[in-house]
Amino acid sequence: MSHGRDSSPVLPGSAVGVLGSGQLGRMFAMAARRMGYRVHTLSPDEDTPTGQVADVEINAPYEDLDAIRKFANGVSVVTFEFENVPAETAAAAARCAPVRPSGAVLHTTQHRLREKLFLSNAGLPVTAFRRVTSLQELVCAANEIGLPAILKTAGFGYDGKGQYRIHSSTDFENAWSGVGGREAVLEAFVNFDCEISVVAARNGSGQFVHYGAIENRHRNGILDISIAPAGASSRVSAEAVEIARTVLEKLDVFGVLCVEFFVCPDGKLLINELAPRPHNSGHFTFDANITSQFEQQLRAVCGLPLGAVTQTMPAAMANLLGDLWEPGEPDWNAAVSVPDVKLHLYGKSSARPGRKMGHLTALASTTEQALADVEQARALLSR
């Protein structure tokens, strides 16, 4: 039974199911409850960021297919905020309620090799890559695409996990054991000027909206700061949006998807990776846009028309990682003393280094001012 094309909208008052229970689900639940929906969340964890604001929090492993079916039977549509949900989980849910984006989108995007093959077969720009299943294949692949290169696990990692940089032949054995001797992807190292992303949404009638190009700065493989709009040229921004449109159409996405890009020194764009859900780089939309990425996800998966994406002011977002808690509780009073800064905390019970605990968003008349304000507010947290 396929629900994907069922055209009747899921209207306010209905229950929406979210697989996963982190901060993306939390902000989705806030948007959904504001529009009068009920939200059910399922994950293996308790007292979760999503569960704290959902109507129903179900604790079950994703592999418990009986629990998944029961969960899906209790809602009108299922979406996810975490793409490492097993394919069998999405399939089990789809027997009981429409799953959007579909399990096929999950299957492609949660595996680096399938994602790269999809993109290259669609004629979209990706870095040179090779599939690697043995140390010998790694050596051959490196000879073909050259060094330095990056070896990544084929199964999905995120925030820089499961990645090993190879500078010379002396690194081969360490990198191969680093990915656990499992199927991996060797990617050519890209000398890029900056990283940008495009967060976009598409609904069942093919309506497409986007939030423009967003500039992203990483630290230790984790997103640190996003600036919107990006400082990229109008040509680069427009091309990034058109590539994102193609990705959502070819994958037949109902929902939100983020395309992350490298911008090369000559202005050429290369797709780094896809995320079939709202994205950390789109958090600024919660405060800066008429319709946030989270409300857009709700509208898309419920079959409603998509909302206006107009950005009211330039914005900058800074992540708050668990490291900030190491000296003690951050000084929230000081951070919110910067009047154009918004504080978002995710309700996570324990702070760990590298764990995303919250974010700050600044709105100002220029991106430069927004960036200065958000960095000032974050610096004030740990004085």
What share of the chain in percent tops pLDDT 70? Answer: 97
Domain ranges of the chain: 15-99, 128-188, 194-381
Q: In the prediction, which pLDDT does 115 show? A: 96
pLDDT digits 0-9 by tens, 268-286: 999 999 999 999 999 999 9
**C-alpha to C-alpha distance for 290 and 200, rounded to whole angstroms:** 14
Which CATH number is 194-381 given? 3.30.470.20
Which CATH number is 15-99 given? 3.40.50.20
Helix ranges restricted to H, 152-292: 172-178, 234-251, 285-288
Q: Which residues pair with 239 in a beta bridge?
A: none
- Quick check: 160 and 222 in contact, CB under 8 A? yes
Q: In the prediction, which pLDDT does 84 show? A: 85
Task: Give the confidence band of 6 by pLDDT, cuts at 50, 70, 90.
Answer: low
Q: Taking 80 as the threshold, does the pLDDT of residue 316 lie above it?
A: yes
pLDDT digits 0-9 by tens, 46-96: 999 999 999 999 999 999 999 999 999 999 999 999 888 998 999 999 999
Task: Give the confidence band of 157 by pLDDT, cuts at 50, 70, 90.
Answer: low
Q: Taking 90 as the threshold, does the pLDDT of residue 2 lie above it?
A: no
End-to-end Cα, the chain, rounded Å: 57
Q: In the prediction, which pLDDT does 180 show? A: 87
Question: What average pLDDT does this structure show over 115-126?
Answer: 97
Residues near 172 by Cβ (< 8 Å), separated by ≥ 6? 135, 138, 139, 142, 166
pLDDT digits 0-9 by tens, 140-154: 999 999 999 999 999
Q: In the prediction, which pLDDT does 87 show? A: 87
Q: In the prediction, which pLDDT does 4 show? A: 45
Range 128-188 has CATH code 3.30.1490.20 = yes
Q: Taking 90 as the threshold, does the pLDDT of residue 263 lie above it?
A: yes
- Burial label, 3 (beta-carbon count in 10 A; 0-12, 13-18, 19+): middle
Question: What average pLDDT does this structure show over 121-128?
Answer: 97
Q: In the prediction, which pLDDT does 35 show? A: 98
For 185, other C-beta atoms within 10 Å of its C-beta total 23
Question: What average pLDDT does this structure show over 264-269?
Answer: 96
- Quick check: 253 and 276 in contact, CB under 8 A? yes
**C-alpha to C-alpha distance for 219 and 309, rounded to whole angstroms:** 28
**C-alpha to C-alpha distance for 116 and 149, rounded to whole angstroms:** 16
Buried/exposed code over 305-340 (b: 16+ C-beta within 10 A; e: otherwise): ebbebebebbbbbbbbbbebbeeeebeeeebeebeb
Query: How do strand 38-43 and strand 56-59 relate by DSSP bridges?
Result: parallel
Question: What average pLDDT does this structure show over 25-32?
Answer: 98
Torsion angles phi and psi, residue 102, rounded to 5: -70, 165
Tracing tokens 């901060």 back to the chain, one arrives at 23
For residue 205, give the amino acid letter: S
**Angle in degrees, 0-180, between the axes of helices 234-251 and 112-121, rounded to the nearest 10:** 110
Query: How do strand 208-219 and strand 222-228 relate by DSSP bridges?
Result: antiparallel
- Quick check: 34 and 60 in contact, CB under 8 A? no
**C-alpha to C-alpha distance for 354 and 373, rounded to whole angstroms:** 23
Q: In the prediction, which pLDDT does 36 show? A: 98
Task: Give the confidence band of 383 by pLDDT, cuts at 50, 70, 90.
Answer: confident
Task: Give the confidence band of 221 by pLDDT, cuts at 50, 70, 90.
Answer: confident
Q: In the prediction, which pLDDT does 192 show? A: 96
- Quick check: 119 and 269 in contact, CB under 8 A? no
